[in-house]
């Protein structure tokens, strides 16, 4: 192997170690400077500079971010079943995350269950399989469920975002805003008796707060779903965080016991 090839292999290894597992374009993008173009908009590596469009093909003015979110709300609101909502997401092309994701990750588990777990976003394994929490953190989540007598036939699992952000980067505020109407409608259609927010991103989004997960975890809060129902919500540590910080499993266990108490009360009532 030449020195150049060795350097390229070592750079690729470094990317993989840092969670960059997929290439989403032909050219590198300096994200500190550039607006990130969508994949299909990217100019091929050695193409000549694009000619300006002829006057007759002047593009229509781009819809504002608010218009796009209103449209997402209208599309999500028109779905009256989970199947229709999934279908609506399959045909909704406004969110850039969809363009780089391999699959829609809608949900897993039992839609009739009392309890819904809401994670953050699909990772690589979830993107490949089209199901939430199937990678390492999903395996830990399954063990956490089993510890309180639950499994995926007695719980429902979804995420704030239904598409994997490329390379697991943080989603932009615009991308998240376009997905939220679908999540709200999703929860409204399910009508859970209890919601668990897995991790800070999910808790902040569902509770509309800036408080961090360290303060939020283990304290029952009330979540309003789409202005139609109030539901008890328990923020918990994300399983991926627990894999990195196993000492925090002690606190997660306390939260699981609190969750079990709540579910027992619901069963009795």
241 CB-near residues (< 8 Å, 6+ apart) = 199, 213, 248
CB nearer to ligand URA: give 159 or 176.
159
| Angle at 116 (CA atoms; ends 259, 212), nearest 5 degrees | 70
**Region near ligand URA per CB under 6 A, out of 55-63, 115-123, 176-184, 224-232:** 115-123
Q: How far is the CB of 160 from ligand URA (least distance, A)?
A: 8
- Tell me if 176 contacts ligand URA by CB under 6 A: no
CB nearer to ligand URA: give 120 or 255.
120
The count of other CB atoms within 10 Å of the CB of residue 86 is 16
**Per-residue x/- track, 3-22, ligand URA (CB under 6 A):** --------------------
- Tell me if 100 contacts ligand URA by CB under 6 A: no
Residues 202-212: b if buried by 16+ CB within 10 A, e if exposed: bbbbbbeeeee
Q: How far is the CB of 134 from ligand URA (least distance, A)?
A: 7
Q: Nearest-CA neighbor of 131 among 159, 100, 173, 150? A: 159
Q: Using the rule CB under 6 A, which residue among 79, 115, 121, 183 binds ligand URA?
A: 121
CB 208 within 8 A of CB 215: no
Query: Which long-range contacts (C-beta less than 8 Å, at least 24 apart) are formed by 60-63?
Result: none
Q: Using the rule CB under 6 A, which residue among 96, 123, 171, 235 binds ligand URA?
A: 123
Q: How many Å apart are CA 99 and CA 123, to the nearest integer?
A: 15
- Tell me if 200 contacts ligand URA by CB under 6 A: no
Q: How far is the CB of 157 from ligand URA (least distance, A)?
A: 8
Binding site for ligand URA (CB under 6 A): 119-123, 126, 132-133, 137-138, 159, 240
């Amino acid at each position: 192997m030449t020195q150049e090839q060795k350097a390229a292999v070592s750079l690729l290894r470094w990317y993989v170690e840092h969670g960059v597992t997929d290439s989403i374009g032909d050219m590198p993008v300096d994200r500190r400077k550039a607006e990130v173009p969508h994949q299909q908009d990217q100019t091929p590596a050695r193409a000549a500079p694009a000619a300006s469009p002829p006057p007759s093909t002047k593009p229509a003015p781009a819809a504002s971010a608010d218009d796009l979110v209103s449209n997402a709300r209208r599309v999500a609101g028109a779905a009256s079943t989970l199947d229709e909502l999934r279908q609506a997401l399959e045909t909704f092309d406004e969110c850039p995350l969809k363009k780089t994701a391999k699959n829609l990750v809608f949900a897993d588990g039992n839609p009739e269950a009392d309890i819904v777990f809401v994670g953050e976003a699909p990772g690589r394994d979830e993107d490949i399989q089209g199901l939430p929490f199937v990678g390492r953190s999903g395996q830990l989540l399954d063990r956490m469920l089993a510890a309180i007598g639950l499994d995926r036939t007695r719980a429902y699992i979804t995420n704030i975002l239904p598409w994997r952000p490329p390379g697991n980067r943080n989603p932009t505020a615009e991308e998240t805003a376009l997905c939220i109407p679908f999540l709200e409608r999703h929860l409204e259609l399910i009508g859970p008796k209890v919601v668990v927010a897995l991790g800070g991103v999910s808790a902040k989004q569902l509770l509309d707060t800036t408080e961090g997960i360290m303060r939020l975890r283990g304290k029952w809060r009330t979540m309003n779903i789409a202005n139609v129902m109030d539901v008890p919500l328990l923020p918990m540590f994300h399983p991926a965080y627990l894999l990195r910080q196993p000492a925090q499993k002690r606190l997660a266990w306390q939260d699981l016991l609190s969750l079990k108490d709540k579910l027992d009360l619901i069963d009795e009532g």
